[in-house]
């Protein structure tokens, strides 16, 4: 149980275009999902907390108008990178909060974004 | 501010034991997690500590001392497949806005040699 999927697994786009990444909890309902960005050989940096039915909470320094998050249902959150630039190239990972005693996070497989 | 420190890299031979230390300074504490991450893949959960002491799970054990802001992950009987990055993550506090937020360390790359 507790499987999180992401789509696409990798994407290449041209500078100035927008890219949407989907995060789904396949076998459980996730009221809260998290979006992370990870640069090579660096740790995960939390970008925003996505709550079902409400606006996302962004971390300091993350532009909410550039990284649009929509958590429309209990199993789906989307991250749209608008007007992408080469510096947005990164590994984007979502996670969903579990509901057991540990409240651990279950991570999706990640999306590799390359902006040319 | 929030600070989580762990060594950058450790090397050990197959069959050996390796201990990865993690020290943290966070605004509050509500649990410490260890994750394993292979290159290009998502992190997978290894262990969770919220009370002081040792938690053992097969070849992996994790220890926590809250008074010292210190944890370690112990990997026993190392196998080649254990070569990966190991992330220490602290859940600093719990509020209605930040329930479940984690603060990650930079990760420790463990290299297992034959």
Distances (CA, A) of B63 to A75, B4, B47, B72: 34, 16, 10, 5
Which tokens sit at A70? 């929509």
Give the CB-side neighbour count of residue B1, counting CA atoms within 13 A: 3
Contact with chain A for residue B101, Cβ under 8 A: yes
Q: Measured between beta carbons, which residues in chain A are less than 8 angstroms from residue B33?
A: 102, 104-105
Q: Which of A34, A44, A52, A57 to mutate to test the interface with B (most CBs of B within 10 A)?
A: A44
Q: How confident is the model at residue B2 (pLDDT cuts 50, 70, 90)?
A: low
pLDDT class of B100 with cuts at 50, 70, 90: low
Nearest to A106 by CA among A115, A114, A116, A94: A94
Q: Is B9 on the interface with A (CB under 8 A)?
A: no
Q: Which residues of B touch A42 (CB under 8 A)?
A: 106-107
Contacts of B107 in chain A (CB under 8 A): 42-43
Q: Is the predicted pLDDT of residue A24 greater than 60, yes or no?
A: yes
What is the per-residue pLDDT across B30-60, written as a single tens digit (0 to 9) for each? 889 999 999 888 889 899 999 999 999 899 9
- In this predicted structure, the answer to whether residue A101 has a pLDDT above a threshold of 60 is no
């Amino acid at each position: 149980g507790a499987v999180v999927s992401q789509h696409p697994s990798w994407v290449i786009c041209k500078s100035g275009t927008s890219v949407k990444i989907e995060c789904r909890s396949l076998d459980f309902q996730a009221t809260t999902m998290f979006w992370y960005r990870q640069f090579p050989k660096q740790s995960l940096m939390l970008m925003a907390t996505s709550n079902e039915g409400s606006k996302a909470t962004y971390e300091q320094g993350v532009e909410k108008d550039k990284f649009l998050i929509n958590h429309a249902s209990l199993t789906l959150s989307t991250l749209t990178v608008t007007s992408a630039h080469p510096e947005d190239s990164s590994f984007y990972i979502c996670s969903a909060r579990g509901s057991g005693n540990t409240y651990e996070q279950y991570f999706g497989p990640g999306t590799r974004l390359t902006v040319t | 501010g929030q600070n989580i420190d762990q060594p950058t890299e450790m090397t050990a031979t197959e069959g050996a034991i390796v201990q990865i230390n993690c020290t943290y300074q966070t605004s509050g504490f509500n649990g410490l997690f260890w994750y394993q991450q292979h290159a290009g893949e998502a992190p997978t959960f290894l262990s969770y500590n919220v009370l002081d002491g040792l938690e053992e799970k097969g070849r992996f054990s994790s220890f926590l001392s809250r008074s010292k802001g210190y944890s370690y992950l112990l990997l026993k009987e190392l196998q080649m497949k254990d070569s990966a990055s190991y992330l220490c993550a602290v859940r600093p506090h719990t509020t209605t806005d930040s329930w479940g937020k984690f603060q990650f360390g930079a990760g420790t790359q463990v290299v297992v040699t034959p």
